[in-house]
Amino acid sequence: MGRGVVRAAMPPAVTVRLFATAREAVGRATLSWELPPEGASVAELVRALGDAHPPLARILRVSRLVRNGHYVEELSERLRPRDELAVHPPYGGG
Amino acid sequence: MSVRLSPRPLSISRAGAALDAPGAGGVALFAGRVRPDRTPTGTVVALDYEVDRSIAMRVLGELEREAVRRFHARAVVVWHRVGRVPVGEVAVIVGAACGHRSEAFDATRFLIEEVKRTVPIWKSERGRRGRRRRRSPLRPAGRSAD
């Protein structure tokens, strides 16, 4: 993603939900990211998140992503305003 | 069939009752309890479980259906605690009622391994004096409850 393509700001935006180590790395459970008029891919948003929150970058590399309730299969998927993207670090139930 | 994410204590006897399927010749049940592991930040007194509930319930349902399909289970239990679980309490119960013991054992093993691998649940250890500890963020959390 080019610099400034995805910016933290006002709606219409993508809501990012953070769990476990991802939440702890950022210090918040949710983030809101404004999309540029031309839109952005999941990969671009992930890169922007890592740039904005360096402790989150290495967690993102091993996390699964869930977009609107479905696991992301291709990072090239285009995001839409009001999408919700959840960051799932490696699971540890049981 | 039964999947559950609960902040309340899980009952092994109730899980057993839920596996009372007519015609099942083999019933297996696994319960994972929180251990008082010693860690660099002190002895574990509880585990805090966090969940992405909507996704977790869907995945649990898929595991249940897969156990039926793969092992011909006649009844399945996949229960997991969420929130704080003190040492000694049950954090997870899985089980299956099948035609024969080998299928029941296999189904139960399948369920617990898949719960740990595929269900969006995370845990952190809580020690005395309230100190929290999560193991490497790049690997699944510890194994204090199995």
Domain ranges for chain A: 7-84
State how beta strands B75-81 and B2-6 pair. parallel
Domains and CATH numbers, chain B: 2-129 (3.90.1170.40)
Pick the CATH number of A7-84 from 3.10.20.30, 3.40.220.10, 3.30.210.10, 3.90.190.20: 3.10.20.30
Min distance B24 CA to chain A CA atoms (Å): 26
Min distance A72 CA to chain B CA atoms (Å): 13
Q: Which residues of A touch B141 (CB under 8 A)?
A: 20, 90, 92
For residue B62, give every residue at least 6 positions away whose Cβ sits within 8 Å of its Cβ, in sequence order, or none: none
> Average pLDDT of A21-45?
94
For residue B88, give every residue at least 6 positions away whose Cβ sits within 8 Å of its Cβ, in sequence order, or none: B33, B34, B36
Q: Which residues pair with B86 in a beta bridge?
A: B46
CB A25 within 8 A of CB A53: yes
What pLDDT, on a 0 to 100 scale, did the predictor assign at position B40? Answer: 80
Asked if A93 and B116 come within 8 Å (Cβ–Cβ), the reply is yes
pLDDT, greater one: B131 or B17: B17
Report the range of poorest mean pLDDT among A81-85, B85-89, B136-140. Answer: B136-140
Min distance A37 CA to chain B CA atoms (Å): 30
CA A33 to chain CA centroid, Å, is: 8
CB B45 within 8 A of CB B112: no
pLDDT band of B101, cuts 50, 70, 90? very high
Residues 9-38, chain A: which have Cβ within 8 Å of B? Answer: 17, 19-21, 24-25
Tens of pLDDT, residues B88-100: 999 999 999 999 9
The answer, yes or no, to whether residue B54 has pLDDT greater than 80, is yes
What's the sign of the alpha-carbon dihedral B13, B14, B16, B20?
Answer: positive
Asked if A21 and B118 come within 8 Å (Cβ–Cβ), the reply is no
User: A90 at the B interface (CB within 8 A)?
Assistant: yes
